[in-house]
C-alpha cells in the first residue's frame, strides 16, 4: 500500500497558533488596584507573573502602570505546566528527546502496545494517523509493522528532527486543538503517544479545553473510516482530566473507554484511551501481573529488555540485510532515490579494537 499525497487528504489549509508571549489568565489579588497575569517569557523560557498596578498604592514600590516580572520556579515536573508545546519542544529539547535511549525505549513500547489495541488485520498494511508524532519515534514502529502513516505535530523543531531522521511517514505541521485537516474516511486507525493531555491546558486566554477537545475528537471521528479505532496513550493529571477527555470524546460520537495496564503498579501503570468510530466494540483488557506471568499472547511485556523482535512471525530482524532490503524497496515504491543493491548491502563490519 502506498500513501496518498497530502494534497489528496487535506480538506483545508493548516493554521498554527502564534506563540503567546504572555498568557492572559488573570485573577484579582487581595489589593483591588492590582491585577496579576500568569504566562511564559519565550526569550528566557521562564514561567513569570506579570503584576500591573492601576494606581499608586503603598503595597507596591513601583509607579502606576509599571510591570513587574517575577520568575516562578515550578516544582511540578509535568512539561505541559512549564510552557506551551510549541515553546517547550524547541531545538535543544527536541534533539535531547530524540537522542535519549530511555525515551526511545519507552516510546517504542507504548507504540507497540497502542498498535496492539488497534486490532488491525494481520498481514494487511493500513493507513494510520499519528497525532503528536514529534520526531517520529512512534512512527518508526508503524513502519516496521508494514503500515503507511501520516504524523501531525505542533512543534517545528520536533518535525525538523523527524526530517533529519528520514522517517518513512508524511509530516504535517498543525495544532490538534484546531481539528484534523483531513478528508472524511481517510485513515484506518489512529494512535497518539503522550500528546492528548496537552489539550487540557489553556495556553492562551482564547483557549477553552472542552471546546478544543471536542473540535479535535469531532474532526478525528470524521477522518476515520467507520469501524476504525483510535488509541491514545496519556498521562492524566487527575480524575477530572480523565472525565473531561472521555466526555468530549463520547460527545463527538466515539464509543469505548479507558484501558489501564498494570493498575496496581506505580511505575508500570499506563493509561490508554481506546475509542471506536461508528461501531461499538469490545473494550480490550489491560495488562496486569497475572497476564504477564501466564504469558498471554498478543500482549506486550513491559520489562527493561528490548525484546520487540523475538515474536515477529517471520519478519526480518532490524538492521539485518533482509530488513535493509525491505526498507529500500518501500522507499522505491514511494518514489525516493535509493542506492542500488550490492553484495555489500547490509554487511556486518568486524568490531575495531
Give yes or no for a contact between 127 and 170, defined as CB atoms under 8 angstroms apart: no
pLDDT digits (tens, 9 = 90+) for 169-196: 999 999 999 999 999 999 999 999 989 9
Instruction: Dig out the grid coordinates for 288 from the structure.
Output: 496486569
- What sign does the dihedral 13-14-15-21 (CA atoms) show? negative
Helix (H) or strand (E) holding 275: strand 270-276
Q: What is the reported pTM?
A: 0.65
User: Which of 17 and 283 is assigned the larger pLDDT?
Assistant: 283
Cβ atoms of residues 271 and 246 within 8 Å: no
Per-residue pLDDT tens digits for 290-322: 554 444 444 444 444 444 444 455 566 777 888
Amino acid at each position: 500500500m502506498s500513501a496518498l499525497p497530502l494534497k489528496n487528504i487535506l480538506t483545508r489549509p493548516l493554521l498554527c497558533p502564534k506563540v503567546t508571549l504572555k498568557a492572559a489568565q488573570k485573577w484579582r489579588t487581595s489589593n483591588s488596584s492590582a491585577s496579576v497575569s500568569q504566562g511564559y517569557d519565550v526569550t528566557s523560557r521562564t514561567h513569570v507573573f506579570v503584576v500591573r498596578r492601576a494606581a499608586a498604592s503603598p503595597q507596591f514600590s513601583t509607579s502606576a502602570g509599571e510591570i513587574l516580572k517575577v520568575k516562578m520556579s515550578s516544582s511540578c515536573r509535568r512539561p505541559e505546566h512549564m510552557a506551551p508545546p510549541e515553546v517547550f519542544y524547541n531545538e535543544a529539547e527536541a534533539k535531547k528527546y530524540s537522542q535519549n535511549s530511555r525515551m526511545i525505549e519507552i516510546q517504542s513500547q507504548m507504540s507497540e502496545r497502542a498498535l496492539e489495541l488497534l486490532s488491525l488485520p494481520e498481514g494487511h498494511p493500513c493507513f494510520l494517523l499519528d497525532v503528536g508524532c514529534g520526531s517520529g519515534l512512534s512512527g518508526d514502529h508503524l513502519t516496521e509493522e508494514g503500515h503507511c502513516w501520516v504524523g501531525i505535530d505542533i512543534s517545528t523543531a520536533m518535525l525538523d528532527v523527524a526530517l533529519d531522521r528520514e522517517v518513512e511517514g508524511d509530516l504535517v505541521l498543525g495544532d490538534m486543538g484546531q481539528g484534523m485537516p483531513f478528508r472524511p474516511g481517510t485513515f484506518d486507525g489512529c494512535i497518539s503517544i503522550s500528546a492528548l493531555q496537552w489539550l487540557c491546558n489553556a495556553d492562551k486566554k482564547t483557549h477553552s479545553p472542552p471546546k478544543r477537545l471536542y473540535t479535535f475528537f469531532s474532526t478525528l471521528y470524521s477522518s476515520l473510516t467507520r469501524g476504525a479505532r483510535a488509541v491514545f496513550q496519556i498521562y492524566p493529571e487527575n480524575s477530572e482530566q480523565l472525565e473531561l477527555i472521555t466526555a468530549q470524546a463520547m460527545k463527538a460520537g466515539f464509543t469505548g473507554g479507558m484501558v489501564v495496564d498494570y493498575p496496581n503498579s506505580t511505575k508500570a501503570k499506563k493509561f490508554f484511551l481506546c475509542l471506536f468510530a461508528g461501531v461499538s466494540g469490545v473494550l480490550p483488557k489491560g495488562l496486569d501481573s497475572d497476564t504477564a506471568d501466564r504469558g498471554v499472547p498478543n500482549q506486550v511485556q513491559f520489562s527493561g529488555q528490548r525484546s520487540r523482535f523475538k515474536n515477529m512471525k517471520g519478519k526480518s530482524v532490524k538492521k539485518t540485510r533482509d530488513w535493509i532490503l525491505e526498507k529500500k524497496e518501500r522507499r522505491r515504491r514511494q518514489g525516493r532515490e535509493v542506492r542500488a543493491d550490492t553484495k555489500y548491502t547490509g554487511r556486518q563490519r568486524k568490531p575495531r579494537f
